[in-house]
Amino acid sequence: MKNIKINLKNRSYLINIDYKLLNLNKKFFSIKRKTKIMLITNVTVDNLWKKKIICFLSKLNAITNKIVLPDGEKYKKLKYVNTIITKLLELSYDRKSILIALGGGVIGDITGFVASIYQRGINFIQIPTTLLSQVDASIGGKTGVNHILGKNMIGSFWQPSCVLVDLEFLNKLPYKELLSGLAEVIKYAIAFDESFFYWLKKNIDKLISLDFKYMSYCIKKCCIIKSKIIENDEKEKKDRFLLNLGHTYGHAIESYLGYGKWLHGEAVSAGIIMAAYTGEELNILEHKYTKNIIKLIKKVKLPIKGPNNMYPNDYLKYMIRDKKTSYDTLRMVIPTKIGEVKLVNISDKKIIISAINKAKQHNY
């Protein structure tokens, strides 16, 4: 088993990574006998893993209940926050109670947000079941829900008590979701680690075929990169912004199409390419790096351009509401080479328009 510690003083916690982790007779957190636990999951995960989870919960020696939500990004909204809170109040959950998020990024984000506001804050545990949530969404304490006018616009920072990454969940992950998760993996490599980028180029087929030796290394690598950034900038005041490579364009795609039409990783993938072309427009990224990025993303069969029916003004409408935007100036994470990114202020919208058009019209 691999353990990675996130050092945040009194909010520190472990990321535990292993295959069949939940089968181990090991206690990852202390539970008092009368503690109330609420497991929050979605209908898909519940159907696939019900037996495994019942077995896991039985080891906790606690009072356990379950809430099963619909599956999909379009359900990450305040309506389901209210559903969860209502159930917690009906069952008299108190400040000593614990929430467990079992699912992908949507379940983790909703559960974490509820934990941050219920009775002004209770503990929660992340058990991510998708690759995207195992390498990214479950770590770092970003929680929240979507608004019709923008993704993740309602939220808070609230760290989990621990994160349990069980690679066994990937066995039943739909192929499209696996590829979506690899978009976030590629993001880490482009933004922070050149050698990891070339490791991915060499071994990407092993990840796609779920070779767990290589997948374990990959997940651990991403968790280590993110943990160091979180430790230095928990509340996204400086370096944590750099984790958003591809997300400014990507979130615009998701908001424009309607949540869930494109998977998050698919939108981020196209967003990374547009961010690279933005770097070229700003003369801070050479085209040879853009070509290298495109080659890897094509190998993973992820989108390399945005939706055909989406035009520059469609992007700008949502990008101007991005959380990094300041005084109507877009602030965007742009690669400067493989393994390095910077946060750039862009006031000239023509640069954005040109980058979007370049990505859209390029003959790949």
Q: Enumerate the active-site residues.
A: 120, 142, 184, 226, 236, 240, 244, 247, 251, 264
- Facing residues of 250 across strands? none
Q: Are 69 and 76 in contact (CB under 8 A)?
A: no
Answer left, alpha or beta for residue 46, where phi above 0 means left and psi between -120 and 50 means alpha.
alpha
Kindly state the tokens that stand for 150: 């923008």
Eight-class DSSP state of 139: S
CA-CA-CA-CA dihedral for 101, 107, 108, 111, to nearest 10 = -70
- In order, the DSSP letters of 310-341 are --HHHHHHHHTT-TT-BTTBEEEEEEEETTEE
Can you tell me the distance from the alpha carbon of 118 to that of 103, in angstroms, rounded to the nearest whole number?
20
Q: Which residues, including other chains, have CB under 8 Å from residue 320's CB and lie 6 or more apart?
A: 328, 330
Can you tell me the distance from the alpha carbon of 82 to that of 145, in angstroms, rounded to the nearest whole number?
12
Alpha carbon distances (Å) from 174 to 36, 136, 299, 300: 32, 18, 18, 14
Kindly state the tokens that stand for 44: 């898909």
Going across the sheet that includes 123-128, the strands are 2-6, 13-18, 162-166, 123-128, 98-103, 36-42, 63-69
Nearest to 285 by CA among 236, 327, 336: 336
Cα 45 off chain centre by: 17
Alpha carbon distances (Å) from 190 to 16, 30, 220, 294: 25, 38, 17, 11
